[in-house]
């Protein structure tokens, strides 16, 4: 019925969709999870730290597991582990059990994250087309579905576990049947590339380090919305949990729509002009969130943040793959590991500040991240000679 290219594209999109769904289900029900586990902001920050470090471990182990199991079984295992982690987190009635669930979720998402971008690169390389923005749009779509499901369950006063179980069965079906249409990397090509790169030791290009720092900041900003947005709405804006659960859904919905047109946006504006503009938009959105106004203004602020953040990550991965003196897979791994590194530091830091002051004060740190992202974005055009550009990216 469908061609091989369509099946491959749909399966890639599905595995971008699944981590977004898992992450959204957890973050959207964070207030209820926190209440069920009977923990405070500091303990929640520590639990999120465990989620981040488990994600980093998943990234580090992904290449070894791929060599042992190959690409398809490894990415299916990552998605399945995320599902198991959801169930554990849904059952959590203590700090220890919540940490266990978050660790499994983090490892599964980290494993999947490392491989889904590689699958996107395989698709673009094989069919010679730009599709990374579209694939990342499906990650955001997973966030929308998860948030809406969580909001509906919160409105009906259903437990977080029920919210998670609603999507476990179709998730498992996708893992079992969708992975058969994913691509396996050509081991001979990969080996020759590795041998060629290893013949001479090369330092990471400065522009790649800047991409890594920019991704670090971007992931931290997105994480502040996903992990603390719903909690902030309940504790500081005094909204109910059903409204708070919409934060990540509206945020992801905006990102999803913008990413559908991301490649055309990049072509019309230019990558190196687009990135600083995005940083300014995110700064304005976060200012709305932290303003003294009510929940409606905060929700609008999160929408504006999504508008600015949407093109950043796909653009970073796309440009990083063109760095001179380093393979695309190495560049992708470097970006992912640096980005996940931020998840080890920022969530517990926000929790620590919130426990000693207020969550609103803690989230002011996000404004600092936006300013730093703007500065780094202004530096990038001066380093673009370190990229292999087949034709200018600027209009």
Write the secondary structure of 212-248 as one string of H (helix), E (strand) and C (coil). HHHHHHHHHHHHHHHHHHHHHHHHCCCCCHHHHCHHH
For residue 41, what are its two tokens?
């902001």
pLDDT tens across 318-350, in order? 888 778 877 666 777 788 888 877 767 787 788
DSSP state of 181: G
Structural domains of the chain in order of their starting residue, each with its CATH number: 4-177+204-386 (1.20.1250.20)
Query: For residue 206, what pLDDT is reported?
Result: 93
The whole-angstrom separation of Cα 89 and Cα 87 is 5
State phi, psi for 323 to the nearest 5 degrees. Answer: -65, 140
Say whether pLDDT at 391 is over 50.
no
Q: Which residues of 38-65 are buried (b: 16+ CB within 10 A; e: fewer)?
A: ebebebbbbbbbbbbbbbbbbbebbeeb
Contact at 8 Å (CB) between 369 and 285?
Answer: no
Distance, CA of 94 to chain centre: 27
The whole-angstrom separation of Cα 152 and Cα 156 is 6
CA distances from 371 to 283, 335, 362, 368 (A): 7, 20, 16, 5
Query: For residue 42, what pLDDT is reported?
Result: 83
pLDDT tens across 224-283, in order? 887 788 888 888 887 887 888 788 778 888 998 999 988 888 888 888 999 999 999 999
Average of per-residue pLDDT values in the chain: 83
pLDDT tens across 79-119, in order? 888 889 888 988 888 999 999 999 999 898 888 887 887 78
The whole-angstrom separation of Cα 19 and Cα 140 is 9
CA distances from 167 to 21, 163, 170, 176 (A): 9, 8, 6, 15
Contact at 8 Å (CB) between 305 and 285?
Answer: yes
The whole-angstrom separation of Cα 381 and Cα 375 is 12
Query: For residue 187, what pLDDT is reported?
Result: 55
**What does pTM read for this prediction?**
0.77
């Amino acid at each position: 019925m469908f061609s091989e290219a369509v099946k491959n594209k749909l399966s890639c999109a599905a595995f971008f969709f699944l981590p977004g769904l898992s992450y959204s289900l957890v973050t959207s029900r964070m207030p209820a999870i926190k209440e069920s586990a009977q923990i405070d902001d500091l303990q929640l920050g520590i639990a999120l730290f465990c989620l981040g470090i488990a994600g980093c471990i998943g990234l580090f182990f992904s290449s070894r597991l791929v060599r042992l199991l190959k690409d398809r079984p490894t990415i299916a295992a990552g998605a399945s582990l995320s599902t198991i982690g959801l169930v554990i987190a849904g059952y959590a009635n203590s700090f220890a059990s919540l940490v266990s669930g978050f660790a499994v979720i983090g490892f599964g998402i980290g494993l999947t994250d490392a491989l889904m971008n590689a699958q996107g690169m395989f698709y673009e390389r094989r069919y010679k087309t730009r599709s990374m923005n579209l694939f990342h749009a499906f990650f955001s779509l997973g966030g929308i579905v998860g948030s809406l499901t969580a909001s509906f369950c919160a409105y009906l006063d259903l437990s977080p576990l029920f919210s998670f179980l609603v999507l476990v069965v179709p998730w498992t079906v996708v893992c079992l049947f969708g992975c058969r249409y994913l691509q396996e990397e050509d081991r001979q090509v990969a080996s020759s590339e590795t041998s060629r790169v290893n013949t001479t030791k090369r330092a990471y290009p400065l522009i790649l380090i800047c991409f890594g720092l920019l991704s670090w900041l971007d992931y931290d900003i997105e994480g502040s919305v996903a992990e603390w947005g719903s909690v902030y709405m309940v504790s500081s804006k005094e909204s109910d949990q059903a409204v708070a659960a919409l934060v990540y859904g509206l945020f992801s919905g905006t990102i999803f729509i913008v990413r559908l047109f991301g490649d055309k946006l990049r072509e019309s504006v230019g990558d190196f002009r687009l990135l600083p503009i995005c940083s300014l938009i995110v700064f304005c959105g976060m200012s709305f969130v932290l303003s003294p106004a009510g929940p409606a203004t905060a929700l609008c602020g999160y929408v504006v943040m999504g508008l600015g953040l949407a093109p950043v990550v796909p653009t970073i991965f796309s440009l990083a793959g063109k760095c001179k003196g380093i393979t695309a897979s190495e560049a992708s791994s470097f970006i992912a590991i640096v980005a996940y590194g931020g998840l080890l530091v920022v969530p517990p830091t926000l929790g620590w500040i919130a426990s000693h002051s207020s969550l609103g004060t803690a989230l002011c740190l996000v404004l600092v991240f936006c300013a730093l992202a703007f500065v780094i974005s202004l530096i990038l055009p001066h380093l673009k000679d370190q990229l292999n550009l087949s034709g200018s990216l600027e209009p």
